[in-house]
Amino acid sequence: MEKRRIGSLEASVVGLGCNNFGRRLDLDATSAVVDAALDVGITFFDTADTYGGTRSEEYLGRALGRRREDVVVATKFGSRLDEQRRGARPEYVHRAVEDSLRRLGTDRIDLYQLHTPDFDVPIGETLGALDELVRAGKVREVGCSNFSVDQLREAEEATREGAARFVSVQNEYSLLHREPEGDVLPECESLGLAFIPYFPLANGLLTGKYRRGKDAPAESRLDSVRGERLLTDRNLDVVERLIGFSEGQGHTILELAFSWLLRRPAVASVKAVLPRI
């Protein structure tokens, strides 16, 4: 499988999102998904400390086992676990990474990402703590998620010369959610940042399982709030046109959704999410 760079890292262009581990999937099912991903050449695994109530990191680490050296492991910190474990204060950054290293069963995290901006902590202070982790060998590269173009610029300006800087940003992007094209994607190209889309299939809408005039499948993960937001007449019309176009070319809408994203120069890896094997 083709690989692209995220800073100094080389990641497969198709990655595996691990948010179902520990939530919809137990350890055995997680291991089956990880095995299947490795078999097809996926080497980029992206999780977070909040996924599965912290179990995602644990299950991923156990499923990889000795194959840890063959892959790029990315995780995130900063989203609320409880009142004490949240945010991007320097002292918490150090605590959070130790917790993630322990759960993952590894001695370093390849890509450590701030899950969401912390408006109460200057970004320079967070970057200073992340730089200490890189210098200590506990983290190889650092990234961010859910950052606006202004926040990316602020982080770049706050980075001390020679210190670790964000090498990636992970924001929502798909054929149905094009907002990053207006500012964040051009900024990534300007700054040399890798862009990692999340929700590349628009919560399953771009898999073809939600069709106009048909009931949602029984195993649908869309709750009523997301369903009302996504299953609009406009979106369903777009999906029908995309299905017609892709099938006319001998492909599926899922293949179209992934290949379209990967044509963007800044996009490094598009994450698949496998609910079960």
Per-residue model confidence (pLDDT) at position 268: 98
- Domains of the chain (ranges; CATH) run 3-204+254-272 (3.20.20.100)
Catalytic-role residue among 51, 92, 112, 210: 51
- CA quadruple 195, 181, 51, 98: dihedral positive or negative? positive
DSSP state letter for 80: -
Ramachandran class of 75: left when φ > 0, alpha when ψ lies in -120 to 50, beta otherwise: beta
* 3-state per-residue secondary structure call for 187-224: HHHHHCCEEEEECCCCCCHHHCCCCCCCCCCCCCCCCH
Per-residue model confidence (pLDDT) at position 231: 80
Report the Cα–Cα distance between both ends of the chain, in Å, rounded. 21
Q: List per-residue pLDDT tens for the chain, 277 residues long.
A: 899 999 999 999 999 999 999 999 999 999 999 999 999 999 999 999 999 999 999 999 999 999 999 999 999 999 999 989 999 999 999 999 999 999 999 999 999 999 999 999 999 999 999 999 999 999 999 999 999 999 999 999 999 999 999 999 999 999 999 999 999 999 999 999 999 999 999 988 998 887 776 666 655 556 554 566 778 888 899 999 999 999 999 999 999 999 999 999 999 999 988 665 5
Per-residue model confidence (pLDDT) at position 226: 59
Whether the predicted model's global pTM rises above the 0.75 cut: yes
Structure tokens that stand for 224 in this block = 């009523």
Ramachandran class of 57: left when φ > 0, alpha when ψ lies in -120 to 50, beta otherwise: alpha
* 51 noted as active-site residue: yes
Per-residue model confidence (pLDDT) at position 102: 98
Per-residue model confidence (pLDDT) at position 273: 80
The residues, ordered by sequence, that sit 6+ positions from 176 with a Cβ below 8 Å of its Cβ are 202, 205, 206, 230, 235, 238
